[in-house]
Amino acid sequence: MEIFKKNWTAAEADRWTVHDLLASLFGVVAFLLVTVGVIGAFLLQVWGFVCVAVALLLAWLMYRIIDPKLRAMSDAFEARQAEYLDDLEKTVRWEERSGT
């Protein structure tokens, strides 16, 4: 299993995998560490700055893991949307020509 998988098909990206679980966990821990870290940083405590740094690292990891899946799903949605808009345009033209 490759954690930083780059190439996803839309069908693969739509299924839940360990990538989604890892991204979810990293996201939750990153938000908690930011919350705790900001408090510590305002108090000028070293552990606060460390928490913020670790939170940034986890947020970056979350992005690296989940972004390729989101891009694959977005590309598939854009293709379906373009197809829908083409069909809609054809329907509108047909209605204009028939006078309805």
| pTM of the full structure | 0.75
Tell me the per-residue pLDDT of 26-66, one tens digit each, with 9 for 90 and over.
Answer: 999 999 999 999 999 999 999 999 999 999 999 999 999 99
Residue type, 32: L
How far, in Å, are 38, 43, 44, 75 from residue 33 at the CA level? Answer: 8, 15, 16, 33
17: three-class secondary structure by DSSP? coil
Q: What total of structural domains would you count in the chain? A: 1
Between CA 94 and CA 100 the distance in angstroms is 9
State how far the Cα of 100 lies from the Cα of 98, in Å rounded to an integer.
6
Is there a domain that residue 8 lies in? no
- Is position 19 within any domain? yes
- What span, in angstroms and rounded, lies between the C-alpha atoms of 92 and 64? 42
Q: Is residue 2 part of a domain?
A: no
pLDDT at 1: 62
In a domain, 41, yes or no: yes
Distance CA 55, CA 29 (A): 7
Residue 54 lies in a domain: yes
Q: Which domain holds residue 68?
A: 14-98
Does residue 67 belong to any structural domain of this protein?
Answer: yes
On whether residue 1 sits in a domain, the answer given is no
Does some domain include residue 6?
A: no
